[in-house]
Amino acid sequence: MSRFKNMARIHQAGGGTGFSFSKLRPKGALVTPTKGRASGPVSFMSIFDQATGVIVQGGRRRGANMGILRIDHPDIVEFIEAKAQQGCFDNFNLSVAVTDRFMGAVRNDGAFDLKDPRTGRKAARVRGKSLFDLVVNAAWRTGDPGLVFIDEINRENPTPDLGEIEATNPCGELPLLPFESCNLASINLARMVDGGSLDWQKLRQTVVLGIRFLDDVIEVNRHPLPQIEEITRANRKVGLGIMGFADMLIKLGIPYNTQKSVDFAKRLMRFIHKESLKASAALVEHRGVFPNFAKSIYAKDGLKLRNATVNTIAPTGTISIIAGCSSGIEPLFAISFVRNVLSGAKLFEVNPLFEEAAREAGVYSGHLLGEIARKGSLQNMSSIPIELRRLFVTAFDVEPADHLGIQAAFQRYTDNAVSKTINLSHNATVDDVRDIYLTAHKLRCKGITIYRYGSKDNQVLSISDGPGKRHESCDEPVTAGSEYSGGCVAGTCVF
């Protein structure tokens, strides 16, 4: 009962929760004290899901959860299929914690053992590729589960002496130890461009302020549980990230779906990470190292830091709407669209960068914006100059390999993880999903999430009949939910 109480207090405070169910007995296992039989992790997850449904944050929205189960748990098939029926586990994002050994079995078409987490004994032997196919098919049908590459996460664990990381926050960008908390902020990169060039000095100064402010937050924050306060103050993890990446690329004249954008992403995040570490080290002089420093990887390297981690790429849902910029590191989701807001009102929105560029090119008109809103993409519109079509690509114009290239570029220089959704057209195949998951592991991402348009009934972005299904005669515009900023179309990533 304490776990439900803790979850409720965190959700009431406006937070989200991540759970690993991997240590629970499999369904049917003997419970020695009572001589009864265990009901398994999915049944426990259902209770958490129902509890979340009755807790409303700030009078408006429910909390969000991440549910994780290791690939070698005997109940993994039930977990993979947990969202097969629409409406089940709507308060959970699901991810399978896959190991390097399992991914090796998939690639080599080898056998893989499922083990009882309590005894360590082999419960079953399965074909790795067949189990992987179940994951891929479920993700194609429903968007869940994603994958968490748990070995890669723990290779980068900054405090391994405190234990292994088993779970993440609701959107997967922050792998955490038990009771650790998210402490995040994001720099609006669109404000870092001056005269068609990135102002590196302004970015450096903003990073310094961001790290200091996040460290201040740990001091002044009122944590909902004493366990959270204790481990948060002991490790002082912060996650300074970015938003407005797509806007920045447009201002720099770099198309999102090019190698040039990937190369620039690496240069950019390398700079931000380096300056974040320098800023954290500078705080040590007056504030000291984080209390668990002696148990961290930095003690061995002689790098004195105030914070166990410094960078995270979050989805930046609501805050990017407030800031008026693109979401996280996602491409634009639309050029012009209708936003459904409170009380049933509808607001027509136009990307201001496109409006400015269209006016300069002499093609701007209300009729054009209406046509763009109906089509959802510029790519087949011959009335728009090719230069603008190349620059103003939207999420469904970007090939999966290009999405992954951007995610991997940022992950390379991010000590926590990267939240990004690989949005796929309705016509994407199961093989497309399989290739994405395999490539994400090869590129050393810490996790991967896909969403195939139309695979959920309640998605927060609507593009007529959907990408890949559009009829040119359709008059319905692109519509977005009130809090949709351009990340996960499914609408379950609320933070």
- Among 113, 145, 176, where does a domain finish? 176
- Quote the pLDDT of residue 473: 42
- Quote the pLDDT of residue 492: 55
Task: Answer yes or no: do 295 and 415 share one domain.
Answer: yes
Catalytic residue (choose from 166, 173, 180, 330) = 173
- Quote the pLDDT of residue 158: 98
For 283, the domain range is 179-419+453-495
Between CA 192 and CA 477 the distance in angstroms is 32
Query: Which token pair is 11?
Result: 């959700």
Q: Which H, E and C letters describe 24-53, residue by residue?
A: CCCCCCEECCCCEECCCHHHHHHHHHHHHH
Catalytic residue (choose from 169, 188, 351, 423) = 169
- Produce one character per residue of 149-182: b if its CB has 16 or more CB atoms within 10 Å, e if not: bbbbbeebbbbeebeebbbbbbbbbbbbbebbbb
Domain tally, the chain: 2
Please, are residues 381 and 372 in contact by the beta-carbon 8 Å criterion?
A: yes
Q: Other CB atoms closer than 10 Å to residue 195's CB: what's the count? A: 6
pTM: 0.93
Which segments of the chain have a pLDDT < 70? 1, 28, 30, 32-35, 56-62, 343, 464-475, 490-495
CATH number for the domain that contains residue 170: 3.20.70.20
Strands 478-480 and 336-340: parallel
- Quote the pLDDT of residue 51: 85
Burial category of 378 from C-beta neighbours within 10 Å (exposed 0-12, middle 13-18, buried 19 and up): buried
- On whether residue 92 sits in a domain, the answer given is yes
- Quote the pLDDT of residue 133: 98
Determine the angle formed by the axes of helices 400-412 and 259-287, rounding to 10 degrees: 30
- Quote the pLDDT of residue 472: 43
- Quote the pLDDT of residue 53: 81
- On whether residue 41 sits in a domain, the answer given is yes
- Tell me the helices (H) and strands (E) count for the chain, helix number first: 17, 22
Task: Answer yes or no: do 77 and 204 share one domain.
Answer: no
Please, are residues 235 and 290 in contact by the beta-carbon 8 Å criterion?
A: yes
* CB-based contacts of 363, cutoff 8 Å, min separation 6: 383, 384, 385, 388
* CB-based contacts of 244, cutoff 8 Å, min separation 6: 188, 189, 190, 191, 320, 323, 325, 326
- On whether residue 433 sits in a domain, the answer given is no
- Judge whether 173 counts as a catalytic residue: yes
Catalytic residue (choose from 65, 93, 171, 311) = 171
Between CA 436 and CA 442 the distance in angstroms is 10
* CB-based contacts of 205, cutoff 8 Å, min separation 6: none
3-state class (DSSP) for residue 105? helix
Task: Answer yes or no: do 186 and 170 share one domain.
Answer: no
- Quote the pLDDT of residue 465: 54
The residue length of the chain stands at 495
Task: Answer yes or no: do 158 and 210 share one domain.
Answer: no
Alpha helices in 288-365 (DSSP H): 297-301, 317-323, 352-361
Enclosing H/E stretch for 451: strand 447-452
Task: Answer yes or no: do 161 and 237 share one domain.
Answer: no
Cα–Cα distances (Å) from 320 to 102, 247, 398, 423, in that order, read: 37, 11, 21, 19
Burial category of 18 from C-beta neighbours within 10 Å (exposed 0-12, middle 13-18, buried 19 and up): buried
- On whether residue 446 sits in a domain, the answer given is no
Task: Answer yes or no: do 415 and 379 share one domain.
Answer: yes
